[in-house]
Structure 1
């Protein structure tokens, strides 16, 4: 979400805090430790409104002030956010520290303890299936990962058939199946048996 001020017990902090839509939903719904307030209206948003606005963050349309109406009928953006959030939630539930992976062409990077303590060991690409994979692009990502000494993990999310992903809010992710596998380049000199 966009920069917002953080209220502490000791007062108001003027330092902006930037959270990804996945982090906002995870903290507000998954952990229940974040309140989100619309700065213009001054009202606290419920989890359904937070989910809808997070889905709008992945909308192909240009964002404007009326976020709610901007992407009500955009199920593709809902699907994209729901799949990303399911992967994010899965990784966080396995105690990984998850950050944005755009620098490496992936959805996320994961740390064991956090960016202050160690380097990211894995890049995460989510929502990939054999029928929608751009194989040359994926091989390019594997190559970038190898160059920066990271391992590419593919996190695939399966939604139940006959459902529209992401339309119900975060409760829908309980119906998803999430799996992972590691993808590496085969180097004959290194991988010979």
Structure 2
């Protein structure tokens, strides 16, 4: 499925300002200001400077939230987004309350306790982000993520992403176990013009007690599409 660009000139704008370049600029800005966020529930809050506000928006990390603080723009990051900036890009420190920034291991433990499937979701999220896909929540489509080739203002998302793994009880997280699951999911994806991308996280026998496990996890990619008899029959 070809990318569906939004409006004339959108593709040219995306090519002139690639996602990798924007993310690198955000990374540099956060490192220079020793940026830190606050872990709150299942998200991380960060106050951005004026330049960073623009970069957060262009790089598609988090969402802006309205506060009484008029001097700074606050952003709410998902756990996956925050840990990616902290652990993979090493440009963000994260606190819990008023405490000092947590170590990677401490932060990993905090996030695992807040979201049982965090290790698998993070592996999938970082896998796509490192390939320069823009990754956002896919809850509105009944999937884990949606993946964009560039900023959502320029292009529609191409993939609806489901993350499967050994999971609790070795049940693939309870999804896509029977044919009807595949049928319903692919029909939904077809109706919103997206390709279903299944990322199977293989833990290879490793536990999730430390972020070091991520190096031993592997990702298997599979796209699933609905077969149309009309495309194959004789005229």
Which TM class, normalised by the smaller chain length?
Answer: 0.7 to 0.9
Q: Give the length in aligned residue pairs.
A: 169
Please give the TM-score of this superposition, normalised by the length of structure 2: 0.65
For the pair 1:112 / 2:112, whether they are aligned, the reply is no
Contact map agreement 1:5 1:14 (CA 8 A) in 2: no
Q: Give 1:151 deviation, angstroms.
A: 0.4
Higher relative contact order (CA 8 A, sep 6+): 2
Q: Show the counterpart of 1:187.
A: 228
- The 1-side partners of 2:165 and 2:228 are apart by 24
Q: Give unpaired runs (5+ residues) of structure 1.
A: 59-76
Q: 1:139 to 1:56 in 2, by over 3 A?
A: farther
Largest Rg, 1 or 2: 2
Aligned equivalent of 1:167, options 200, 203, 209: 209
Q: Give 1:128 deviation, angstroms.
A: 4.9
- The 1-side partners of 2:114 and 2:232 are apart by 42
Q: Give 1:103 deviation, angstroms.
A: 0.7
- The 1-side partners of 2:99 and 2:81 are apart by 21
Q: 1:128 to 1:159 in 2, by over 3 A?
A: closer
Q: Show the counterpart of 2:160.
A: 123
Matches within 5 A, 1:144-155: 144-155=188-199
Q: Show the counterpart of 1:44.
A: 101
Please give the TM-score of this superposition, normalised by the length of structure 1: 0.78
Q: CA RMSD in A?
A: 2.5
Q: Give unpaired runs (5+ residues) of structure 2.
A: 1-41, 52-68
Q: 1:9 to 1:131 in 2, by over 3 A?
A: closer
Q: Show the counterpart of 2:110.
A: 53
Aligned equivalent of 2:73, options 15, 31, 40: 15
